[in-house]
Amino acid sequence: MARGFVLDPTARRADDITTPGPDAGSLAGKRVGFRVDRMWRAWDWISELWAEKLRDEGAKVTFWRSAGRTGDEGERCDREFKAFLESIDIAIVGLANCGSCTGWTVRDAIAAANHGLPTTAIATRNFEVFAHEMAARGGRSGLRVHVLPYPLNEQCKGDVLPIGEAHFEGLLRTMGAMPRAHEKAA
């Protein structure tokens, strides 16, 4: 009789990093990088709103927009992303709002976290569990994930911006950031 092996698809990686990595801490003087993509206009609106708020906290903010991930364009994109990671102190990566977008968001967030950066992935509610599962499969089950409501992209800008406003303080908590108001009180 032949013997077969059944692999457990729920097994955890032995090298899994269960901690979230370093906190963002004080934002004053830090370079915060937003990884955006070509798909989600709502993420563009929210990240621009958050960028202004982070600038008010004393941070310098930059954006990097992902592009094609295969062939020559993919190789160029990979080099640009690595250079982007070298240029920032904190990474905010989004948007996990569909299957492949969640995969790329988590992949890029893991790369940032593995680079030693305080990193937060942004996901919508429908893709929260998938984002955590992808992070665990990638060896970083402790990856910080901040969750926005779903649906998001189907709404107009006037409805999305209040959502971004309402989630900013939660983002700071998820990042382990210390806003200026807390620094003054400490």
pLDDT at position 110 over 60: yes
Residue 29, Cβ density class (10 Å: 0-12 exposed, 13-18 middle, ≥19 buried): exposed
Lowest mean pLDDT among 94-98, 143-147, 176-180: 176-180
Within a domain: 170: yes
> Would you give the DSSP letter of residue 88?
-
Domain of 128 in residue numbering reads as 25-178
Whichever domain contains 153, its CATH number is: 3.40.50.2300
Beta-bridged to residue 123, according to DSSP, are 96, 147
pLDDT at position 61 over 70: yes
pLDDT at position 127 over 80: yes
Within a domain: 184: no
Within a domain: 50: yes
**In this predicted structure, what is the pLDDT of residue 183?**
57
Within a domain: 52: yes
**In this predicted structure, what is the pLDDT of residue 30?**
98
Give the number of domains in the chain.
1
Within a domain: 46: yes
Within a domain: 19: no
Mean local confidence (pLDDT), 65-92 = 94
